[in-house]
Amino acid sequence: MNREKGMTTPNTQQVIRVEDLVIEFPGEDAPSRVVDGVSLTLDRGETLGVVGESGSGKTMLSLALMALVPKPGRVQSSRMELLGNDARALDESQWCRIRGRDVGMIFQNPMTGFNPVRTIGRQISQSLQRHAGMGFNEARERVISALRDVGIPSPEQRFNAYPHEMSGGQLQRAMIALAMINRPAVLLADEPTTALDATVQAQILELMRARVENCGLVLVTHDLGVAAQICDRIMVVRHGRIVEAGDCAEVLRAPQHEYTRALLEAAPRFTRRRLMQAPRVASTPPLLEGRNLRVSFPVGKRKLHAVDGVDLDIWPGETVALVGESGSGKSTTALGLMGVHPLQGGELRFAGDDVTHASGERLKRLRRDLQMVLQNPYGSLDPRWSVRRILTEPLHAHGVGSRASREARARELMDQVQLPAEALDRLPSSFSGGQRQRISIARALALSPRILIADEPVSALDVSIQAQIIRLLMDIQTRTGVAYMIISHDLALVHEIADRVIVLYLGRVVEQGTAQAVISAPQHPYTAALISAVPVVDDDGTRTRIVLGGEPPSPLKPPSGCPFHPRCPIARERCSEERPPLAKTPGGSLAACFYPGEVEVDLRLSDVAEA
């Protein structure tokens, strides 16, 4: 390819060489160093994982490689070479020619990475037209073939699609196509799969692994499991410094630094099982009993059945997990139980009382026993309210207690979620994501509910923080005997904490049973695929994986027969004609499949933690 002056065709394998990189931001007293003395190299065809928690400086590090560190930030290094040239000497106009041509970038959120008012095809071809000087027609050809390469179906039509017409997974594929279109020597990917479902994450990782042959990939992530999937080397960063670097398999097998060990400890894997408890089911009647629950929304003249006949029981003190991809109706089910979305059908009983159409005072009374924690700790606390006011809001709403007793309750709740009571006067902005989720949990516990629904309580948090929050939830359950319904797409987490699992697909239950049975021997191929999509750290590349094709179909036009059959690896003719009922399987769990138990999963259960 014809390179402009300033960048010669590299004759080395090495595409990046950085020594002693320092990034500073002016602070109130002293400048704060977000990256402090990091050195790294990257070869062609190699994948380097930069692993760290929020605030470790990993994103700044990747921005520095494209000279995109935002304004008051200062970047210094003793050496910074890109394709064998000194990158420090480049000015902004030269960088403009390099970005997108020699260095491609994949961002975390594909939804905001594209301009919403221009078609995908146009935005990708623009990069070709600008950097390679192609005409529109020639560029169009190339873009269509690139879209095909990243697995976007019917790329000729998708070329003219606007970003809002595509799903998150498709957009992330398009983003990869855009980043790769000029065959860059370096590809930077900042949390490329964090915003995606586990099943789609598995697809995207697979794709990235396949597409990097001729360039170097820097993968920035907080999830060691993701890094373990595709990286050759990893670099663990903390507070802007490298704490450990080396061969990926080596580091994961024998981490030297304590911090790496802690991260590894927190990473998803199917090992630790809770102590088997005596089954709490059957002996008593369920606390919450849902039969054939339905929630639908009008879409134009049609109805979208988000929850389509779900049976669901919660016994006192147990943990039920509701799992499925986004769009499977998990959250809608929860909001249906909470009375936010009215139930259009079925029957809901709480402690024997019919609460199907509860409203007004009855609904309010139900909420003293049935509470919910929302997914996003950044959005669910009013930024203008002090923690004290947040924690006492439910008490005020239900007219509980006196001023003094409410204050005492707030302190007690802070203690329960292990936050200092002195922090009661602070605003949510002084807390980290994990701390905010603690406050959110404390607020939901204020009325001492008997059931707590938690909608993806940890998915917005760093992996290491996730472990803390989960431990907290378990502690609280042990102390108060509250029952949980945990909504999650993370099967490793579910395996660790749940007593029973309910798997939803397109608003219907496809499998249900004890966590032990469902996860170690899934009967439905969809469950097997969800389990297989979890990026476990113990994966040395030999783990057999079931990567689902495509994404869930629209519930507006569900497929005929078994709704899962278009994506099912074992679908046969019968599956497209007849809908399988939820039936008892030999293992004891219920599954809606004609051929239960045919797909097996490789959990990579490691025995270490069993002791």
Partner 1 sequence: MSAPETLAIEPLQTHGLPPSRWSPRHWPTGLRLGAALGLALLCASALLPVVLSVDPMVTDLGRRLAAPGQQGFILGSDQLGRDILARILAGLSWSLAVAGTATALAALIGVVLGLLAADRPGLLRTLINQLVDMVLSFPGLVIAIVVIAVLGHGFWPLVLTLGVLSWPVFARVVYAEARSVLAQDYVLAARLLGTSRMRVLLGHVLPGLTPSLMVMLAFHFADMMIAESALSFLGVGAPLGTASLGNMLSESRQYLFVAPYMMLLPAAAIVLAVVAANLIGDGLAAADRRGRPSAHDGGDKT
Q: CB nearer to partner 1: give 126 or 437.
A: 437
Asked if 368 is part of the footprint of partner 1 (rule: CB under 8 A), the reply reads yes
The three-state secondary structure class of 597 is: coil
Smallest gap from Cβ 21 to partner 1, in A, equals 19
Q: What track of x and - describes contact with partner 1 for positions 322 through 351 (by CB under 8 A)? A: ----------------x-x-----------
Asked if 468 is part of the footprint of partner 1 (rule: CB under 8 A), the reply reads yes
Smallest gap from Cβ 95 to partner 1, in A, equals 22
Q: CB nearer to partner 1: give 139 or 486.
A: 486
Site for partner 1 in 535-554 (CB under 8 A): none
Asked if 382 is part of the footprint of partner 1 (rule: CB under 8 A), the reply reads yes
- The answer to whether residues 491 and 555 touch, using CB atoms and an 8 Å cutoff, is no
- The answer to whether residues 177 and 100 touch, using CB atoms and an 8 Å cutoff, is no
Residue 155 Cα distances to 51, 161, 221, 230, 417, angstroms = 34, 10, 29, 26, 50
Residue 63 Cα distances to 66, 71, 105, angstroms = 5, 12, 9
Which residues touch 172 (CB under 8 Å, ≥6 apart)?
106, 110, 192, 193, 195, 196, 200, 204
Asked if 398 is part of the footprint of partner 1 (rule: CB under 8 A), the reply reads yes
Cα 217–chain centre separation: 21
Which residues touch 276 (CB under 8 Å, ≥6 apart)?
516
Smallest gap from Cβ 440 to partner 1, in A, equals 7
Asked if 427 is part of the footprint of partner 1 (rule: CB under 8 A), the reply reads yes
- Residue from 36, 138, 347, 393 that binds partner 1 (CB under 8 A)? 393
Partner residues linked to 453 by β-bridges: 372, 485
Q: CB nearer to partner 1: give 151 or 428.
A: 428
- Residue from 164, 253, 364, 572 that binds partner 1 (CB under 8 A)? 364
Smallest gap from Cβ 261 to partner 1, in A, equals 7
Q: CB nearer to partner 1: give 220 or 546.
A: 220
Instruction: Kindly state the DSSP code that residue 341 receives in the 8-state scheme.
Output: S
* Span from 427-435, 540-548, 568-576, 588-596 in contact with partner 1 (CB under 8 A): 427-435
| 323/452 Cα distance (integer angstroms) | 16
Asked if 428 is part of the footprint of partner 1 (rule: CB under 8 A), the reply reads yes
Which residues touch 285 (CB under 8 Å, ≥6 apart)?
352
Which residues touch 471 (CB under 8 Å, ≥6 apart)?
none
Q: Exposed, middle or buried, 593 (CB in 10 Å: 0-12/13-18/19+)? A: buried
Side-chain-side CA neighbours of 579 within 13 Å: the count stands at: 9
| 569/404 Cα distance (integer angstroms) | 61
| 240/151 Cα distance (integer angstroms) | 36
Side-chain-side CA neighbours of 524 within 13 Å: the count stands at: 32
| 410/421 Cα distance (integer angstroms) | 8
* Span from 144-152, 374-382, 482-490, 603-611 in contact with partner 1 (CB under 8 A): 374-382
- Residue from 31, 37, 246, 433 that binds partner 1 (CB under 8 A)? 433
Smallest gap from Cβ 224 to partner 1, in A, equals 12
Q: CB nearer to partner 1: give 371 or 527.
A: 371
Q: What is the dihedral of CA 591, 593, 599, 600, to 10 degrees?
A: 10
Q: Which of 57, 478, 473, 468 lies closest to 265, judged by CA?
A: 468
* Span from 74-82, 204-212, 433-441, 545-553 in contact with partner 1 (CB under 8 A): 433-441
- Residue from 386, 416, 520, 606 that binds partner 1 (CB under 8 A)? 386
- Residue from 13, 115, 160, 418 that binds partner 1 (CB under 8 A)? 418
Smallest gap from Cβ 113 to partner 1, in A, equals 14
* Span from 43-51, 99-107, 342-350, 461-469 in contact with partner 1 (CB under 8 A): 461-469
- How many residues bind partner 1, per CB under 8 A? 65
Asked if 426 is part of the footprint of partner 1 (rule: CB under 8 A), the reply reads yes
Asked if 353 is part of the footprint of partner 1 (rule: CB under 8 A), the reply reads no
Asked if 464 is part of the footprint of partner 1 (rule: CB under 8 A), the reply reads yes
* Span from 88-96, 434-442, 485-493, 565-573 in contact with partner 1 (CB under 8 A): 434-442
Q: What is the dihedral of CA 579, 585, 590, 596, to 10 degrees?
A: -50
The three-state secondary structure class of 161 is: coil
Asked if 384 is part of the footprint of partner 1 (rule: CB under 8 A), the reply reads yes
Q: What track of x and - describes contact with partner 1 for positions 243 through 272 (by CB under 8 A)? A: ---------------xx-xxx-xx------
Site for partner 1 in 482-541 (CB under 8 A): none
- The answer to whether residues 510 and 526 touch, using CB atoms and an 8 Å cutoff, is yes
Question: φ, ψ for residue 10 (rounded to 5)?
Answer: -70, 140
| 2/462 Cα distance (integer angstroms) | 43
Smallest gap from Cβ 50 to partner 1, in A, equals 13
- Residue from 24, 46, 53, 490 that binds partner 1 (CB under 8 A)? 53
* Span from 148-156, 201-209, 280-288, 395-403 in contact with partner 1 (CB under 8 A): 395-403
Asked if 372 is part of the footprint of partner 1 (rule: CB under 8 A), the reply reads yes
Smallest gap from Cβ 335 to partner 1, in A, equals 8
Partner residues linked to 483 by β-bridges: 451
Partner residues linked to 235 by β-bridges: 50, 245
Structure tokens at 309: 């006949």
Q: CB nearer to partner 1: give 427 or 474.
A: 427
Side-chain-side CA neighbours of 172 within 13 Å: the count stands at: 24
Asked if 108 is part of the footprint of partner 1 (rule: CB under 8 A), the reply reads yes
Asked if 598 is part of the footprint of partner 1 (rule: CB under 8 A), the reply reads no
Structure tokens at 191: 């949390």
* Span from 87-95, 294-302, 368-376, 555-563 in contact with partner 1 (CB under 8 A): 368-376
Asked if 429 is part of the footprint of partner 1 (rule: CB under 8 A), the reply reads yes
Q: CB nearer to partner 1: give 265 or 311.
A: 265
DSSP assignments along 361-377, one per residue? HHHHHHHHHEEEE-S-T
H runs (alpha helix) in 448-509: 463-480, 491-497
Partner residues linked to 247 by β-bridges: 233
- Residue from 39, 123, 194, 416 that binds partner 1 (CB under 8 A)? 194
- Residues of this chain that bind partner 1 (CB under 8 A): 53-54, 59, 108, 191, 194-195, 222, 258-259, 261-263, 265-266, 338, 340, 363-364, 367-368, 371-372, 374, 376, 378-386, 393-394, 396-398, 418-420, 423, 425-435, 440, 443-444, 446-447, 460-462, 464, 467-468
